[in-house]
């Protein structure tokens, strides 16, 4: 397939929330206590909520910036591309990058809205609903056909979470972000019956549960003084555990239509994981009493799990070992793994090098995403205007050049020292 003829839907991108997030959807009685964006003397902007201050780390909003400016330091909105937080600019960046549609994960509330879980359940629910309504009714609705809506969960209460899943499904939202492991957040595991209301709501509504790397707040790190490369390399490992937890749980057996996405987990590890599942079943099912109704675990995996990749040449090469109907492409804008604005070039190179057919390309680049998330962009945008080439022609003149945006350039050695200091402090606090 010609590069410019591809249609790209990304199932993993991110929003840097704008200052007016809670202006229109939070009841007036809660507005004075809502999170607010605070501009600091050092030029950074942070969300302040009670005793929590959450900044936008410079791995999270680096699209269009030189790699020397990557890091973990909080940034101000003036230091990042407006497309990170302004929906009109986001669509302009999408056009310039040849991307038809995105699904956007949250930033400052955490992937599972754990920040909003307060001692006041009514207030917490109001925050979650306000965020979801802003996301669906303002961000996504501003450009129909360009965004797959995603909802935050009421993570602290399974019944309330189920109610919210049903509420947003009526608004056309069939995607939920959720922690890949609830236990580190203080909630019951996937192996309990606690989450049954959530599983029922997901299946009833045809909603996909998205388990994003790091969504539990735990990332695999060998030691507090390990370089950040270790953390970045091991991030997908969290999802290996999540997939194993759910594969061997009662969930897939009791909710046979449940759909789960392993967001930003990559795909290259999936074939070995499937072999290991089947081997474990063959060797141990007689005493662990696992029963998949005559199917192999690898077959059951393909019925329930969506896998996602950014580049991942190994995964593309092994696409048929994974399951061609179980793979979606993701862009990760504006994070540091993103290839924006050159994703079409890099993706096309990987697809061509691995002799991917046009039918396979269509499935991985947009068809599977449309089917899994009940999303039809072509109800709003003619297919002829949805291709990489057509979108880029519509964006002619839009600035996509790499340029410095940092107020101050911090030397790499200083960045590393700050990172290690924070990691050691976090470890010390966890041990207390």
pLDDT digits (tens, 9 = 90+) for 52-61: 988 876 568 8
C-alpha count within 13 angstroms, C-beta hemisphere, residue 337: 18
Give tens-digit pLDDT for 102-138. Answer: 999 999 999 999 999 999 999 999 999 999 999 999 9
Does 430 score more than 60 pLDDT? no
Mean pLDDT within 145-149: 98
Whole-angstrom distance, CA of residue 327 vs CA of residue 413: 39
Q: Residue 324, class by beta-carbon neighbours within 10 Å (0-12 exposed, 13-18 middle, 19+ buried)?
A: middle
Q: What is the mean pLDDT of the chain?
A: 92
pLDDT at site 232: 78
Q: What residue spans define the domains of the chain?
A: 3-38+86-382
Measured CA to CA, the distance from residue 255 to residue 234 in angstroms comes to 30
* 207/403 Cα distance (integer angstroms): 39
CATH hierarchy code of domain 3-38+86-382: 3.20.20.140
Radius of gyration (C-alpha) of the chain in whole angstroms:
21
Average pLDDT over residues 308-336: 96
- Give the separation between CA 98 and CA 395, rounded to whole angstroms: 9
Residue spans of alpha helices (H) in 42-108? 87-96
CA atoms of 337 and 67, how far apart (whole Å): 11
User: Quick check: helix, strand or coil at residue 101?
Assistant: strand
Q: 14: closest CA among 92, 81, 106?
A: 106
Can you give the pLDDT at residue 143?
98
- Per-residue pLDDT of 410-419, as tens digits, reads 767 776 677 6
pLDDT for the residue 169 = 98
Q: How far apart are CA 52 and CA 11, in angstroms?
A: 29
pLDDT > 90 in the chain, percent: 78
What's residue 238's pLDDT?
Answer: 81
Q: 213 versus 71: which is more confidently predicted?
A: 213
Residue 158 contacts residue 209 (beta carbons within 8 Å) = no
C-alpha 303/C-alpha 51 separation (Å) is 43
Residue 230 has pLDDT above 90, yes or no: no
pLDDT at residue 85 is higher than 80: yes
* Cα separation, 175 vs 261, whole angstroms: 10
The pLDDT score that the predictor gives to residue 361 is: 98
Predicted local distance difference test score (pLDDT) of residue 333: 96
Residue 157 C-beta-side C-alpha neighbours within 13 Å: 16
Query: Residue 229 — pLDDT band, cuts 50, 70, 90?
Result: confident
Look at residue 220 in the predicted model and tell me its pLDDT: 62
Bigger pLDDT: 432 or 368?
368
Coil vs helix vs strand at 85: coil
pLDDT of residue 225: 75
Q: What are residue 420's phi and psi, to 5 degrees?
A: -65, -35
pLDDT at 153 exceeding the cut of 90? yes
Q: State the pLDDT at residue 59.
A: 67
Query: In the prediction, which pLDDT does 409 show?
Result: 65
Q: What are phi and psi of 103, to 5 degrees?
A: -120, 120
Helices 270-288/237-247 angle, 10° precision? 30
Interatomic CA distance for residues 178 and 128, integer angstroms: 13
Could you tell me how many residues make up the chain? 432
Region of 255 (left: φ > 0; alpha: ψ -120 to 50; beta: rest) is beta
Structure tokens at 224: 């507090």
- Residues 364 and 326: their CA atoms lie apart, in Å, by 8
Bond preceding residue 341 cis, omega within 30 of 0: yes
Instruction: Check if the beta carbon of residue 40 is closer than 8 Å to that of residue 52.
Output: no
The pLDDT of residue 254: 97
Q: Specify the pLDDT at position 421.
A: 76
Indicate whether 324 pLDDT > 60. Answer: yes
**Termini Cα distance of the chain:** 57
62 falls in which pLDDT band (50, 70, 90)?
A: confident
Contact 77, 55 (CB under 8 A): no
């Amino acid at each position: 397939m010609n590069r410019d003829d591809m249609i790209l839907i990304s199932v993993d991108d991110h929003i840097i929330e704008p200052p007016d997030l809670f202006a229109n959807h939070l009841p007036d009685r809660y507005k004075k206590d809502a999170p607010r964006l605070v501009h600091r003397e050092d030029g950074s902007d942070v969300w302040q909520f009670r005793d929590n201050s959450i900044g936008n780390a410079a791995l999270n909003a680096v699209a269009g910036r030189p790699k020397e400016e990557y890091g973990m330091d909080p940034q101000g909105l003036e230091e990042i591309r407006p497309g990170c937080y302004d929906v009109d600019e986001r669509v302009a960046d999408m056009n310039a990058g040849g991307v038809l549609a995105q699904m956007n994960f949250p930033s400052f509330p955490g992937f599972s809205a754990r920040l909003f879980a307060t001692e006041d359940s009514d207030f917490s629910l109001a925050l979650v609903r306000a965020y979801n309504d802003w996301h669906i009714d303002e961000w996504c609705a501003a450009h129909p056909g360009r965004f797959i809506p995603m909802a935050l969960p009421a993570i602290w209460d399974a019944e309330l979470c189920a109610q919210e899943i049903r509420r947003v499904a009526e608004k056309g939202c069939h995607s939920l972000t959720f922690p890949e492991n609830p236990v580190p957040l203080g909630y019951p595991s996937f192996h309990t019956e606690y989450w049954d209301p959530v599983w029922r709501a997901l299946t009833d509504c045809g909603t996909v549960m998205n388990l994003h790397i790091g969504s539990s707040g735990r990332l695999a790190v060998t030691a507090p003084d390990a370089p950040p490369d270790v953390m970045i390399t091991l991030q997908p490992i969290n999802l290996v555990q999540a997939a194993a937890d759910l594969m061997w749980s009662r969930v897939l057996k009791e909710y046979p239509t449940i759909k789960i996405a392993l967001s930003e987990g990559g795909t290259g590890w999936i074939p070995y994981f499937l072999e290991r599942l089947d081997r474990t079943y063959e060797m141990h099912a007689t005493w662990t009493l696992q029963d998949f109704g005559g199917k192999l675990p690898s077959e059951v995996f393909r019925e329930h799990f969506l896998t996602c990749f950014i580049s991942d040449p190994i995964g593309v090469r092994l696409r048929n070992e994974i399951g061609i109907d179980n793979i979606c492409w993701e862009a990760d804008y504006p994070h540091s793994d993103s290839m924006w604005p050159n994703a079409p070039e890099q993706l096309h190179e990987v697809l061509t090098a691995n002799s991917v057919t046009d039918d396979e390309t269509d499935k991985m680049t947009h068809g599977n995403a449309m089917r899994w998330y009940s999303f039809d962009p072509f109800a709003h945008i003619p297919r002829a205007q949805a291709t990489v080439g057509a979108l880029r022609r519509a964006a002619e003149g839009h600035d996509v050049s790499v340029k410095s945006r940092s107020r101050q350039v911090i030397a790499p050695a200083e960045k590393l020292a700050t990172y290690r200091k924070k990691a050691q402090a976090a470890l010390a606090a966890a041990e207390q």
